[in-house]
Amino acid sequence: MISTLRWALGSFKRNKLKVHGMVRYMIILLLILLLFVCGCELFEEEEETYDYPTITKIKIIKIPAANEDGYAWDDLSLPDIYCLVTDEQNNIYYTSSTWQDVGNSEYPVTLNPENFELKDSERELYIEVYDEDLTSDDLIGEVGPFSAQLIMDDSSNVYTMENYTWTLEVSVTLKW
């Protein structure tokens, strides 16, 4: 009888250890799951918010291979591209930096204006693309008009414009 009690007591202790081990395993598994679920939220990038519609990207997708006279944009090099954002009165709202010697394989050229807010979402704007030269810059072409409201009404944050006469294609990315 004593041996039976010892056996029962030993069996109880072994099972108790197995139960404790299983409980520890479940707690660890639960903690890992909680860390994964909560951790994902901690590391998610917070979406930027804007007070006004803001142009965050301008892409010059393609330009004509030659100027209106049929000549290359530059005699000794590739075109040096920059753009302006203007309104109908030619007020300049943005001037990009210049991309030097842009070849066909480098398109699209992406410009990332900082803090380019469109406080008047109805104002019609144009994008003028130029080839920078030493004496005077050559107008490659112009696209537009567009407005922040037009892009927002289109329910897309990317708006692509093309000037078929000049084979110029430009897209604008707007966040709001």
What integer is the mean pLDDT of 113-117?
A: 88
pLDDT at 68 over 50: yes
What integer is the mean pLDDT of 82-100?
A: 95
Asked if 123 and 141 sit in the same domain, the reply is yes
Asked if 75 and 40 sit in the same domain, the reply is no
pLDDT at 115 over 90: no
Whether residue 49 lies inside any domain: the answer is no
What integer is the mean pLDDT of 148-156?
A: 86
Neighbouring residues of 121: CB distance < 8 A, sequence distance ≥ 6? 52, 53, 147, 148, 149, 152
What integer is the mean pLDDT of 92-121?
A: 92
Asked if 89 and 134 sit in the same domain, the reply is yes
* Residue that has been written with the tokens 């000037």 in this structure: 163
Asked if 13 and 69 sit in the same domain, the reply is no
Q: How many domains does the chain divide into?
A: 2
What integer is the mean pLDDT of 135-163?
A: 90
Per-residue confidence (pLDDT) for residue 3, from 0 to 100: 57
Confidence band for 128, pLDDT divided at 50, 70 and 90: very high
Neighbouring residues of 13: CB distance < 8 A, sequence distance ≥ 6? none
pLDDT at 8 over 60: no
Asked if 38 and 63 sit in the same domain, the reply is no
Neighbouring residues of 65: CB distance < 8 A, sequence distance ≥ 6? 72
Helix (H) or strand (E) segment spanning residue 5: helix 2-43
Asked if 29 and 88 sit in the same domain, the reply is no
CATH code where residue 165 lies: 2.60.40.150
Per-residue confidence (pLDDT) for residue 82, from 0 to 100: 96
Whether residue 24 lies inside any domain: the answer is yes
Domain that holds residue 114: 54-175
Asked if 15 and 86 sit in the same domain, the reply is no
Among residues 142, 137, 136, the alpha carbon closest in space to that of 169 is found at 142
